[in-house]
């Protein structure tokens, strides 16, 4: 099959609407580099790529300021439902800032300001009227360093459910379900009352994922969730992401390009607060349309 014609004048988002060539093309591509993925053969996001998926959050022309310092410039990106979108780019380019705009975590930093729109269920996340507590329940977040509360394993997961005022029976069931969905249940089921701080780093991160899952979010934001973990724990989280995406929309910031290609369907490349390129992950890594993307993924900077 001939390589698809990429019209550089056309926005990439429009080009990927044509999913026929997309599917065919992806299935015919051979990885240029043998990544860990092909060695392990466990994940293959190209098999679950859905170029027709709806936009769960449609981000349009977002500018963000820390006081007078602008950190994001006219960022527009579709975040597709039940797909993994990876955000890559060199340190300081605005990945975390962008992620935090999506559940209004930047509101907690004095002097910040967001302009533009992120349409979620027909409403703009940045609207003053948005119920931020509800928003953060629907759009959960997992941080770079696992941050369990100094409480028992059970109470960490039960935390949000207690705030919501559920019955003890409901909480017990939901805690178990969340721990199962976070692939942690079998490791902790006999010691739910011990302190979460006694768990390994990888287990703590899966516990934080269970805590986010307990309140039934629709979107999960992950900011370099594996950067503090060893390779085995990293692999477990990546495996978990590929499971969770069947039910949730996932946005993951990663500085690890192999990780982006192992777990994500779509990738956005940021540079100095600007989204340079957005495309299906395979396309972005194998046929970047922008010189800056090519330079970055081939390790010329960053």
Interacting residues with Mg ion between 83 and 112 (CB under 5 A): 96
CA nearest 226: which of 142, 103, 139? Answer: 142
How many residues bind ligand ADP, per CB under 6 A?
Answer: 12
Q: Could you tell me the smallest distance in angstroms from the CB atom of residue 96 to Mg ion?
A: 3
Q: Could you tell me the smallest distance in angstroms from the CB atom of residue 160 to ligand ADP?
A: 25
In the chain, what's the furthest Cα-to-Cα distance?
Answer: 60
How many residues bind Mg ion, per CB under 5 A?
Answer: 1
**Judged by CB, which is closer to ligand ADP: 65, or 185?**
65
| Alpha carbon 32 to chain centroid, angstroms | 25
Interacting residues with ligand ADP between 54 and 73 (CB under 6 A): 66, 69, 71
Q: Could you tell me the smallest distance in angstroms from the CB atom of residue 57 to Mg ion?
A: 19
Establish if 103 lies at the interface with ligand ADP (CB under 6 A). no
Phi, psi of 68 (to 5 degrees): -90, -5
Alpha-carbon gap, residue 4 to 120, rounded angstroms? 32
Q: Could you tell me the smallest distance in angstroms from the CB atom of residue 269 to Mg ion?
A: 14
**Judged by CB, which is closer to ligand ADP: 66, or 185?**
66
**Judged by CB, which is closer to Mg ion: 107, or 247?**
107
Binder of residue 97, out of Mg ion, ligand ADP, none (CB less than 5 to 8 A by kind): ligand ADP
Question: Which residues, at least 6 apart from 31, have a Cβ–Cβ distance to it below 8 Å?
Answer: 37, 38
Among 92, 168, 191, 291, binds ligand ADP (CB under 6 A): 92
Binding mask 17-46 for Mg ion (x = CB under 5 A): ------------------------------
**Judged by CB, which is closer to ligand ADP: 62, or 207?**
62
**Judged by CB, which is closer to ligand ADP: 101, or 152?**
101
Among 12, 93, 196, 215, binds ligand ADP (CB under 6 A): 93
Taken in order 284, 290, 291, 296, the sign of the CA dihedral is: negative
Binder of residue 194, out of ligand ADP, Mg ion, none (CB less than 5 to 8 A by kind): none
Interacting residues with ligand ADP between 105 and 134 (CB under 6 A): 109
Tokens representing residue 177 in the block: 């379900």
Binder of residue 105, out of ligand ADP, Mg ion, none (CB less than 5 to 8 A by kind): none
Name the residues that contact Mg ion, by CB under 5 A: 96
Name the residues that contact ligand ADP, by CB under 6 A: 66, 69, 71, 89, 91-97, 109
């Amino acid at each position: 099959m001939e390589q698809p014609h990429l019209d550089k004048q056309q926005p990439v988002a429009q080009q990927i609407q044509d999913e026929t060539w997309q599917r065919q093309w992806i299935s015919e591509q051979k990885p240029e580099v043998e990544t860990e993925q092909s060695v392990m053969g466990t994940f293959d996001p190209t098999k679950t790529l859905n170029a027709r998926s709806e936009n769960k959050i449609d981000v349009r022309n977002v500018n963000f300021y820390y006081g007078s310092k602008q950190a994001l410039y006219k960022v527009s990106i579709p975040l597709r439902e039940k797909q993994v979108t990876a955000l890559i780019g060199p340190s300081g380019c605005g990945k975390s800032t962008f992620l935090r705009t999506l559940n209004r975590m930047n509101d907690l930093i004095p002097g910040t300001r967001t302009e533009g729109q992120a349409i979620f269920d027909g409403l703009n996340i940045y609207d003053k009227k948005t119920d931020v507590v509800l928003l953060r329940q629907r759009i959960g977040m997992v941080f770079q360093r696992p941050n369990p509360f100094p409480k028992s394993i059970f109470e960490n997961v039960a935390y949000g459910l207690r705030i919501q005022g559920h019955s003890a029976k409901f909480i017990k069931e939901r805690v178990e379900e969340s721990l199962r969905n976070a692939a942690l249940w079998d490791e902790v089921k006999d010691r739910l009352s011990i302190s979460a701080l006694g768990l390994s780093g990888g287990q703590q991160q899966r516990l934080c994922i269970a805590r986010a899952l307990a309140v039934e979010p629709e979107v999960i934001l992950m900011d370099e969730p594996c950067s503090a973990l060893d390779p085995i724990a990293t692999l477990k989280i990546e495996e978990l992401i590929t499971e969770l995406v069947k039910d949730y929309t996932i946005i993951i910031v990663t500085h690890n390009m192999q990780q982006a290609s192992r777990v994500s369907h779509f990738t956005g490349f940021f540079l100095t607060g600007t989204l340079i390129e957005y495309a299906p992950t395979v396309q972005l890594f194998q046929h970047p349309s922008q010189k800056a993307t090519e330079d970055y993924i081939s390790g010329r900077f960053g």
